Structure 1
Amino acid sequence: MCGIVGYIGSQQASDIVIEGLRKLEYRGYDSAGIAALDAGRIALRRAEGKLVNLETLLRQQPVPGCVGIGHTRWATHGRPSETNAHPHQAGVIVVVHNGIIENYLELKERLIGLGHNFRSETDTEIIAHLIEQHFNDSGDFEAAVRAALSEVHGAYAVAVLCEAEPDKLIAAKLGSPLVVGQGQGEYFVASDIPAMLSHTREMVFLEDGELVVFNRSSMQVSTLAGTPLQKTPKTITWSPMMAEKGGYRHFMLKEIYEQPRAVADTIAGRLKDEEGDVHLESLGLDDKELQSLKKVFIIACGTSWHAALVGKFYIEKLARIPVEVDIASEFRYRDPIVDEDTLTLLISQSGETADTLAGLREAKGKGGRTVCICNVVDSSIARESDGVIYTHAGPEIGVASTKAFTTQLIGLYLFALRLGRVRGQLSAEECRRRVAELVSLPRKLETALELDVPIENIAKAFAHARDFLYLGRGNQYPIALEGALKLKEISYIHAEGYPAGEMKHGPIALIDENLPVVVLVPHNETYEKVISNMEEVRARGGRVIAVATRAETGLRDKCDALIELPETSDELMPILTSVPLQLLAYHVAVIKGTDVDQPRNLAKSVTVE
């Protein structure tokens, strides 16, 4: 969740660190800080609130030096404050840290007994004091870091400086993401790629239990125990401009508009039209293994969980194999029944979601096969899974997921097609027909985006509401959940998604003239039933916003606002209906004046339980 940036080279570290932290603002944070080494002395600056507050402080009190670390914090232990902000210093040691140290109280009690004085409420400060204690004992900076990290339990990504060794930067990870960037005579370390993209595209991805020691001319990667490792850099193809707003008012709006391209990129190279099949290059399972599967679990969190719910419809319909969908934070604690004939499919935009990663390890530990759908190359979940279906959405900066969600649906659909073909449930001709629909989808998404202005007008009419209800049936029910989540995430309006057929079992009591009800009503086998649900809402004074296909007639008289989408297959319709719900949430949030890209209390990548 928090952001780490570190630098060692010949440039002023503070400039590079602040620039990198700005690129990580999307992750969510409540305070920021920086430390730099100059002439063997550490200068440290911290500020509560947004990064601009730290920048103002740095103009008044600069921190010169060519070695530095910085951090944006999202509070876990201790309230948001300057005192609790990172970096944390203990004697000659200064540390930034992402993650949670589970045994920090035990360590703190021991360190207090040794004479250490603590200033903050954080678990991170324990790491600084623990390294200081080992450094005082040994006089060896690197050995002190290794010894301290061997004592902590939990998750961490850390970057550490020491006044006594001013030309050295040490970083390590366990359970939290950390990436190294290699430049010309300089090195970078950060918790996510965008922080370094304007300086280098050559990245080294650290694995759990690895530590890297930088000086100005080299770096050495090893295990925490000290065994040297050889790491091969990977070239990132994202350009820095891909992570900029490109003229849009917000990242979220830019990313909504990028969906036709993102969907096209995710499809590209994977369709085998002549064979009537799908090619998934890194699936990691051969035909025999796919044929042997008896059950699929799909596990995910938040928006990715909504994609998983749609994926259940895809896989069960096209491959005729039972699917169970779990919220990742529940999966590992219920002792799921997993064996070698079970596939666990994990979905995560970042590939670093802590609960999903834990679910992956639970499934692998029980002997099951694992495949992930992920947007970030060489992320932890991608590396640890047996196979991966990469989405090609590009960097998603806005906290509220949009293009990552729609490309996850594409990844699930491609997997379901492949599974259906190899298991003999889907003929080549049927697959070709579905592939043709898929190829036409980006153009239909562009048509949906042309509704932006009418949807903005609908938002103006309903932005005053305190509550929203979203209704859908079949594979549109997860989209109702997703639409409600988008609205509550960025506008702070209470919103609830519900199966339309369940409305009479409780939610109907809420309906009056003050409750807008968004109804997803594309033409499918439940169309007439959803129309009946709309009539029930109208009969009780509720105000209906209907999302339908253009082929429907007579709907205008049954609703207060109508959003008409182009037709596509029932399986692909959830991708189309997602777009107007994203735009509706966006425009309501803009009207209300909330922080669209960085909603309060939320983080882009949830890397702690």
Structure 2
Amino acid sequence: IDGNKKKEVLAFKEVGKVAKLKKLVDESDLDLEKIFDSHAGIAHTRWATHGPPSTTNCHPHRSDPNWEFTVVHNGIITNYKELKTLLSAKGFKFETDTDTECIAKLTKYIHDQHPQIGFTDLAKAVIQELEGAYGLLIKSVHYPHEVIAARKGSPLVIGVKTQRRMKVDFVDVEYSDENAALPAEAAAQNVAIKKNDLLVPDAGLGAADKSLLHRSQSRAFMTDDGMPMPTEFFLSSDPSAIVEHTKKVMYLEDDDIAHIHEGSLNIHRLKKADGSSNVRTIQTLELELQEIMKGKFDHFMQKEIFEQPESVVNTMRGRLDIANKTVTLGGLRSYISTIRRCRRIIFIACGTSYHSCMAVRGIFEELAEIPIAVELASDFLDRQAPVFRDDTCVFVSQSGETADSLMALRYCLERGALTVGIVNVVGSSISLLTHCGVHVNAGPEIGVASTKAYTSQFIAMVMFALSLSEDRASKKARREEIMEGLANVSDQIKSILELDSSIKALCEKTFKDQKSLLLLGRGSQFSTALEGALKIKEISYLHCEAVMSGELKHGVLALVDENLPIIMILTRDDLFKKSLNAYQQVIARGGKPIVICNPDDEEFKASEAEKIEIPKTVDVLQGLLNVIPLQLIAYWLAVLEGLNVDFPRNLAKSVTVE
């Protein structure tokens, strides 16, 4: 941040929780009451991707001991080793193990060669040398009260706060090749890595000619007499961090460079991408501050589990018409007939979103009668799987910024496939890059372990399947049965949440001092087992393996004894008798399974097994209910161990790096 004196930069770094950093700032000599005419500060909270977590490796990173250039960066620079080698040969001394430090030192190197260069042009020259993904901010003593923001493959949103109403609700984009006054016109020649050296030609990188009249990109922030109005700008990778300050936001696109200075915001690009807009729209967030507060709950995850009766209704609101037995998904309306004619539908996702795709695979095959593939994005890319022009590729992501899914999306777009996005964040990269899509409307999800996004994705995709089969008379009765089930699901989730205290007691009694756990399911309930196992692993750190019940006798049965805790999903469906065989085999080996079953099931009335009774619904929706007790088990296991439920170690909410 700006210090108390001119050209003074103060940096505060700490490993651990934000509270430790706040304490460090509070204990400093910084005058927190000082009022600036203009002020710029940058900060970053993150997990380590290069180098171990340490104060030295914490952001921000500097170009030199005088902090001439300061950088914070989200993402991974893949060519940082080459840059580091080149800059070391130029005499730069590196203090950290991070890739971000290369950005700061590269910026200083170019500035030293051309001290009169403008901040925007300097940023363009730097960015042309970076490979990989980044959302970055640059601050400099040479350009006081200014900030550069740049995005490629990592989300970046700008919040805008003004005292008066803005004149327009957009900011124009200016392209280098449209304006001779911008020195990055010959983009490929500005800073080229050639012959193991950095060559910065003098041509085109001199001081900007201020006598030339540029059209303004910031009419939104001007008063009636053409002067800049007082404006605050907030930059973040997630809009939920901004909402307490302003609801007016603008999403940067890949390759955008934003220059904030003198109460103004300018957007630059090196070149125009095909089909890209000439403006960036300032939008109003549909988000309330109380939505991102814990309220009466101890943790965000607990709050989000208990919000599911409302979040599933929000997903269906305005889309599911029970009275007329219709489903309307506005984001797919123009493409639904094309999807019906496609060769196959490929669902591509990671983690929890992958499990939600697994959960609905059967209903798509049944209703749409189209071949369905479900792919992990990373594996899909590793295999370079064949994709055809008549395929439909569906990308499911809570954040809409998942790095592997985004790379897979670009891969499919290059091959001409129709792409569909199912995301929870409006304005996210996946929502912008896909041809069409569905917003799941789950509301903001703060806890790292996804809960309500899973159930909302599940419902959104079931409605997608219902839309695809709308023209099939033979499926009418089945469709209506599923719609009736959807109408009741909110009340059924509410009744399951009433089991919270008994599930807590079960965790205290059964899982204390355990090191491992098995979770068994069959058919569509295998995806439920996978999701439950992931939740238990990621927040309680207890090893939990999901096993297809039919595979039990192919090796896993050797693990079963009276001491190993086992959870078996045994709600009634067409595969119930086969699932019961696995239950009987576990009992025969002395196992003591916890059974998730329907109320008053005759098969378990005489059993001594612990039971969690779940309301019965349509078979394809049963997994939606069965996952709720597994979420509660994961939550209470973590709480009873005294762990940080909302922020498990080594994990981030949005996985924006490979």
Task: Give the TM-score normalised by structure 2.
Answer: 0.85
**Partner SS, residue 93 of structure 2:** coil
Aligned partner of 1:221 in structure 2 is 267
Residue number among 491, 497, 500 corresponding to 1:452 in the alignment: 500
Aligned partner of 2:191 in structure 1 is none
1:463 aligns with 2:511: yes
Residues 319 and 426 in structure 1, CA contact (< 8 A), matched pair in contact too: no
Aligned partner of 2:140 in structure 1 is 162
Aligned partner of 2:51 in structure 1 is 78
What one-letter code is carried by the residue in structure 2 that aligns with 1:174?
Answer: K
Aligned partner of 2:254 in structure 1 is 208
C-alpha distance in structure 2 between counterparts of 1:346 and 1:335, whole Å: 16
Provide Cα deviations, 1:474-507, integer angstroms capped at 9, x if missing partner. 1000101111111111111110001111101111
Aligned partner of 2:122 in structure 1 is 144
C-alpha distance in structure 1 between counterparts of 2:160 and 2:5, whole Å: 22
C-alpha distance in structure 2 between counterparts of 1:204 and 1:36, whole Å: 29
Provide Cα deviations, 1:168-212, integer angstroms capped at 9, x if missing partner. 111010000000001012111101011110011111001000010
Residues 322 and 487 in structure 2, CA contact (< 8 A), matched pair in contact too: no
What one-letter code is carried by the residue in structure 2 that aligns with 1:58?
Answer: V
C-alpha distance in structure 1 between counterparts of 2:474 and 2:303, whole Å: 39
Provide Cα deviations, 1:411-432, integer angstroms capped at 9, x if missing partner. 11010111111456522x5433
Which stretch of the first structure deviates more once superposed, 64-73 or 270-279? 270-279
Aligned partner of 1:98 in structure 2 is 74
Residues 186 and 216 in structure 1, CA contact (< 8 A), matched pair in contact too: no
The equivalences for 1:133-532 within 5 A come to: 133-139=109-115, 140=117, 141-184=119-162, 185-224=231-270, 229-273=278-322, 275-283=324-332, 285-422=334-471, 426-427=475-476, 429-464=477-512, 465-532=514-581
What one-letter code is carried by the residue in structure 1 that aligns with 2:558?
Answer: A
What one-letter code is carried by the residue in structure 2 that aligns with 1:135?
Answer: H
C-alpha distance in structure 1 between counterparts of 2:329 and 2:546, whole Å: 33
What one-letter code is carried by the residue in structure 1 that aligns with 2:41?
Answer: G
What one-letter code is carried by the residue in structure 1 that aligns with 2:263?
Answer: S
What one-letter code is carried by the residue in structure 2 that aligns with 1:84?
Answer: N
C-alpha distance in structure 2 between counterparts of 1:534 and 1:559, whole Å: 13
Residues 159 and 172 in structure 1, CA contact (< 8 A), matched pair in contact too: yes
Q: Classify 1:447/1:38 alpha carbon distance in 2 versus 1 (closer, same or farther; 3 Å).
A: farther
What's the CA shift for 1:62?
5.1
RMSD: 1.7
C-alpha distance in structure 2 between counterparts of 1:44 and 1:54, whole Å: 11
Q: Classify 1:516/1:210 alpha carbon distance in 2 versus 1 (closer, same or farther; 3 Å).
A: same
C-alpha distance in structure 1 between counterparts of 2:4 and 2:71, whole Å: 13
What one-letter code is carried by the residue in structure 1 that aligns with 2:26?
Answer: R
C-alpha distance in structure 2 between counterparts of 1:332 and 1:166, whole Å: 43
Residues 35 and 87 in structure 1, CA contact (< 8 A), matched pair in contact too: no
What one-letter code is carried by the residue in structure 2 that aligns with 1:101?
Answer: I
Residues 284 and 371 in structure 1, CA contact (< 8 A), matched pair in contact too: no
**Partner SS, residue 189 of structure 1:** strand
How many residues are paired up?
575
Aligned partner of 2:26 in structure 1 is 59
1:584 aligns with 2:633: yes
**Partner SS, residue 413 of structure 2:** helix
Any stretches of 5+ residues in structure 1 without a counterpart?
Answer: 1-33
Aligned partner of 1:18 in structure 2 is none
What one-letter code is carried by the residue in structure 1 that aligns with 2:311?
Answer: A
Provide Cα deviations, 1:522-575, integer angstroms capped at 9, x if missing partner. 111111222221121122121211111115124143352101111110011110
What one-letter code is carried by the residue in structure 2 that aligns with 1:186?
Answer: E
Any stretches of 5+ residues in structure 2 without a counterpart?
Answer: 163-230
Aligned partner of 2:624 in structure 1 is 575
Q: Classify 1:117/1:514 alpha carbon distance in 2 versus 1 (closer, same or farther; 3 Å).
A: same
C-alpha distance in structure 1 between counterparts of 2:4 and 2:619, whole Å: 59
Residues 360 and 620 in structure 2, CA contact (< 8 A), matched pair in contact too: no
C-alpha distance in structure 2 between counterparts of 1:57 and 1:488, whole Å: 33
C-alpha distance in structure 1 between counterparts of 2:398 and 2:452, whole Å: 10
C-alpha distance in structure 2 between counterparts of 1:343 and 1:329, whole Å: 18
Which stretch of the first structure deviates more once superposed, 449-458 or 329-338? 329-338
Residues 556 and 562 in structure 1, CA contact (< 8 A), matched pair in contact too: no
C-alpha distance in structure 2 between counterparts of 1:296 and 1:225, whole Å: 34
What's the CA shift for 1:301?
0.5
**Partner SS, residue 42 of structure 1:** coil
Which stretch of the first structure deviates more once superposed, 109-118 or 329-338? 329-338
Residues 67 and 169 in structure 1, CA contact (< 8 A), matched pair in contact too: yes
Residues 372 and 382 in structure 1, CA contact (< 8 A), matched pair in contact too: yes
Residues 180 and 205 in structure 1, CA contact (< 8 A), matched pair in contact too: yes
Which stretch of the first structure deviates more once superposed, 36-45 or 510-519? 36-45
What one-letter code is carried by the residue in structure 1 that aligns with 2:256?
Answer: E
What's the CA shift for 1:463?
2.3
C-alpha distance in structure 2 between counterparts of 1:36 and 1:404, whole Å: 42
C-alpha distance in structure 2 between counterparts of 1:113 and 1:336, whole Å: 41
C-alpha distance in structure 1 between counterparts of 2:597 and 2:56, whole Å: 53
**Partner SS, residue 379 of structure 2:** helix
* Structure number, greater radius of gyration: 2
C-alpha distance in structure 2 between counterparts of 1:346 and 1:297, whole Å: 9
Aligned partner of 2:227 in structure 1 is none
What's the CA shift for 1:283?
1.7
**Partner SS, residue 72 of structure 1:** coil
C-alpha distance in structure 2 between counterparts of 1:110 and 1:355, whole Å: 30
Aligned partner of 1:539 in structure 2 is 588
C-alpha distance in structure 2 between counterparts of 1:37 and 1:423, whole Å: 71
Residues 481 and 618 in structure 2, CA contact (< 8 A), matched pair in contact too: no
What's the CA shift for 1:386?
0.8
Q: Classify 1:314/1:37 alpha carbon distance in 2 versus 1 (closer, same or farther; 3 Å).
A: farther
What one-letter code is carried by the residue in structure 1 that aligns with 2:136?
Answer: V
What one-letter code is carried by the residue in structure 2 that aligns with 1:40?
Answer: K
C-alpha distance in structure 2 between counterparts of 1:284 and 1:46, whole Å: 50
C-alpha distance in structure 2 between counterparts of 1:111 and 1:422, whole Å: 63
Aligned partner of 1:13 in structure 2 is none
**Partner SS, residue 547 of structure 1:** strand
C-alpha distance in structure 1 between counterparts of 2:474 and 2:76, whole Å: 46
**Partner SS, residue 26 of structure 2:** helix
C-alpha distance in structure 1 between counterparts of 2:286 and 2:83, whole Å: 43
1:566 aligns with 2:533: no
Residues 290 and 422 in structure 1, CA contact (< 8 A), matched pair in contact too: no
Residues 544 and 560 in structure 1, CA contact (< 8 A), matched pair in contact too: yes
Which stretch of the first structure deviates more once superposed, 456-465 or 437-446? 456-465
**Partner SS, residue 427 of structure 2:** coil
What's the CA shift for 1:153?
0.5
Q: Classify 1:532/1:54 alpha carbon distance in 2 versus 1 (closer, same or farther; 3 Å).
A: same
What one-letter code is carried by the residue in structure 1 that aligns with 2:50?
Answer: H
**Partner SS, residue 156 of structure 1:** strand
What one-letter code is carried by the residue in structure 1 that aligns with 2:429?
Answer: S
- Larger RCO, structure (CA 8 Å, separation 6 or more): 1
Residues 282 and 389 in structure 1, CA contact (< 8 A), matched pair in contact too: yes
Q: Classify 1:172/1:119 alpha carbon distance in 2 versus 1 (closer, same or farther; 3 Å).
A: same
